[in-house]
A = this chain, B = another copy of it.
């Protein structure tokens, strides 16, 4: 089974999931070399788009990602890699997961009338 690297100019996204907890830890990209290095070493290796080179996750921090299982999706253009995450956290900002922020709805308009005056204090319609 050949991974489809063509859809994204030579890259496939790789979702990294903690094999024990199921937590999604991060998302990175792999080119063919990064994917081969991941398979050969058993440690997740990405292609860094900002630095334009291979990046073995944890090469600086020691927080490596040991591959437990690699899954591929129906279109063969995305990877799900279940790992044992070594160390206290994956994110360079000091969190266990890079997805440490929730996007909450933000009010972007100004109120034009007082709803409690129209609908009463506890009304929802």
Name A17's closest neighbour in chain B (CB-CB).
Answer: B24
A94 to chain B, nearest CB (A): 10
The total of chain A residues at the interface (CB under 8 A) is: 34
Q: Is A101 an interface residue (CB 8 A)?
A: yes
Tell me the A89-117 residues at the B interface (CB within 8 Å).
91-93, 95, 98-103, 105
A83 to chain B, nearest CB (A): 13
A103's partner among B8, B70, B91 (CB-CB below 8 A) is B70
Q: Tell me if A73 and B26 are in contact (CB < 8 A).
A: yes
Ranked 9 nearest A-B pairs via Cβ: A22-B22, A73-B98, A71-B99, A80-B99, A27-B78, A70-B103, A74-B98, A13-B13, A74-B93
